[in-house]
Amino acid sequence: MEQKMNDFESLAQKAYARFGELAKRYYYKFKRPVVTSGGVPCMLFLGNHSSGKSSMINWLLGGDVQDVGLAPTDDGFTVIVYGETEEEVCGPAALARLPEEFDGLKLFGADFLQRLRVKVRNRELLRSVTLIDSPGMIDSAAGTVNRSYDFEGVVRHLAELCDMVFFLLDPDKPGTTGESVTVFSRCLSGVEFKLRVLLNKCDAFSSLYDFARTYGTVCWNLARVLHTKDLPKIWTVYSGETRETANGGVDLTDFNRHRDEFLAVVHDAAARRRDNVFSQALSDFLGLSIRMCVVNHASRRLCTFRIAVLSFCAVISLAAGALTWQALLSRFGSGSVTAAIAGVAAACLGLAATWPLARLAVYLQRQRLSGTVDATFEAEYRSSLAVGTSDNLHQAWHAIREETAQVIREAPLRLPFFGEFRRRQLDSAAAKVFASFQKGV
């Protein structure tokens, strides 16, 4: 089974490498352009300040790996990996200690890399999973002060890269900070299948009434952010040794059951990685295929329009030159060099006069094409949508729709002479990747 999954990951990586340049041509960005065969699964811990992320990681690893405290103890991201010799690397050098899959983090600049830390620890759990701790989310005093790097972009990048995302909520601040709302609404959209919401420190409740009020507040806040009919499952957990009764006398039996489910997810990280790689490969290759289809259609129409506009400009210019030449022939005679020069000059002036109008016409045509991308998608995929495969296609299309419209509206487009051939190659390679995944399941 493990060998089959390694073969699947190797095949996926070859497909990413093969079509990387093609994706750049269509201004498409793969979510996970590098897949390390036999790589270690990753899990990301997010949450408010003092929600217990570091304490939870220490409990999982069975030791004091992360600093804990009531006040914020860390303003950066910490990646905890396995190693026989324990060490700690900070700053840009930390990125060199991570697998190639993390190379995309360098795009977030020096300010972020200064806040990146890699801890190498000899813990048994780290043989099978890599843990990532994040800075606690808080509201600034002014309410408008931002971090010196793209925090939301980093969270989104890591959420797409990691195989599980745990969002911890503190009973004292159950998802009420501005950054928490932003992360839920922007950064974690589209990765809900790997998201788990943990209401932590449940052993601190003094009564069931206290727990009910907090749980209701969490549900209220999530409902305002997610805008879905169904709320995600909220796991009520706590870190530390298992107990049956809290200090205040609250029965912890159900909380212990959620703790066991949480631990099962952590220890089943390999299966989570397999599903994540497959889901992202499916999304990446299908998204690129749709992008190619819609952009190729727009490129063909834009090329035809440009030819028509240039032909019109050429006709106007030649007509202006011919009329000028004919008018001067009657005055200077058939052999007049002046008439010929004047005719050529008139043609050039006509071309110069119509060129701005031609550019404006092409610009307006691009705006029109970008506004009809939905109709283009429906027309190009009419057959597939008719046989009942519309849900997957529509979901993939809505994920890339706005960016595709922007590409058609603003980016340089070239006539794709072999665009359809390359798209079929992509679809064929993707089918092989998916078949390899099914063999390994």
For position 26, what pLDDT does the model report?
Answer: 92
**Which residue blocks in 239-268 are alpha helix, DSSP H?**
253-267
Structural domain tally of the chain?
2
- Is pTM beyond 0.75? Reply is yes
pLDDT at 143: 47
Q: Are residues 137 and 169 in the same domain?
A: yes
Residue 141's pLDDT is: 44
Residue 218 phi, psi dihedral angles, 5° rounding: -60, -45
Which of 125, 148, 144, 126 minimizes the C-alpha distance to 135? 148
Report yes or no on 355 lying in a domain. yes
Q: 329 in a domain, yes or no? A: yes
Max intra-chain CA distance, the chain: 114
For 182-210, give one letter per residue: b (16+ CB within 10 A) or e: bbbeebbeebeebbbbbbbbbbbbeeeee
Quote the tokens at residue 387: 């046989």
For residues 217 and 221, give the distance between their C-alpha atoms in angstroms, rounded to a whole number. Answer: 6
Neighbours of 116 (CB within 10 A): 24
Is there a contact between 171 and 201 (Cβ–Cβ < 8 Å)? Answer: yes
Output DSSP code: residue 231.
P
Does residue 220 sit in the same domain as residue 310? no
Q: Are residues 205 and 120 in the same domain?
A: yes
Q: Which of 209, 234, 267 is the last residue of a domain?
A: 267
Mark whether 254 and 321 lie in a shared domain. no
**Domain final residue pick, 237, 267, 297:** 267
- 351: Cβ–Cβ under 8 A, 6 or more apart, which residues? 313, 314, 316, 317
Pairing assessment for the beta strands 87-90 and 234-236 based on DSSP bridges: unpaired
* Whether residue 292 sits in one domain with residue 263: no
Q: Compute mean pLDDT per 10 residues along the chain, 441 residues long, and list them.
A: 70 88 90 74 87 87 76 74 89 87 87 90 90 79 64 88 88 68 77 86 83 84 73 84 76 87 87 83 90 91 84 72 59 57 65 73 86 90 71 83 91 79 89 78 52
Residue-number span of the structural domain to which 224 is assigned: 40-267
Tell me: do 219 and 367 sit in the same domain: no
Is 87 part of any domain? Answer: yes
Q: In whole angstroms, give the CA distance from residue 55 to residue 76.
A: 16
* Residue 88: HSE in the Cβ half-sphere, 13 Å Cα cutoff: 8
Does any domain span residue 365? yes
Q: Give me the CATH number covering residue 155.
A: 3.40.50.300
Q: What is the C-alpha to C-alpha distance for residues 284 and 282, in angstroms, rounded to an integer?
A: 6
Same-domain pairing of 385 and 429: yes
- In this predicted model, what pLDDT tens digit does every residue of 125-170 receive, in sequence order? 998 899 999 888 765 544 445 678 888 889 988 988 888 999 988 8
388 belongs to a structural domain: yes
In a domain, 279, yes or no: no
Query: Which CA distances in Å does 406 have to 26, 55, 285, 396, 411?
Result: 12, 44, 20, 17, 7
Q: Last residue of a domain, which of 241, 267, 293?
A: 267
24 within domain boundaries: no
**204 & 337 share domain:** no
H or E element, residue 346: helix 337-370
Q: Which two tokens stand for residue 47?
A: 């949450």
Tell the burial category of 3 from Cβ atoms under 10 Å away from its Cβ (0-12, 13-18, 19+). Answer: exposed
- Decide the pairing of beta strands 130-133 and 164-169: unpaired
- Kindly report the backbone phi and psi dihedral angles of residue 172, in degrees, each rounded to the nearest multiple of 5, phi listed first: -75, -30
Q: How many other C-beta atoms lie within 10 A of the C-beta of residue 45?
A: 24
Instruction: Say how far apart CA 150 and CA 156 lie, in whole Å.
Output: 10
Task: Tell me which residue of 373, 417, 416, 406 sits closest to 28, measured CA to CA.
Answer: 406
pLDDT at 321: 63
The answer to whether residue 6 sits within a structural domain is no
The whole-number pLDDT of residue 142 equals: 44
Do 257 and 290 lie in one domain? The reply is no
Please indicate, yes or no, whether residues 124 and 198 belong to a single structural domain of this protein.
yes
Q: What is the pLDDT of residue 285?
A: 92
Residue whose tokens read 């026989």:
84
Distances (CA, A) of 207 to 78, 99, 238, 429: 35, 46, 16, 57
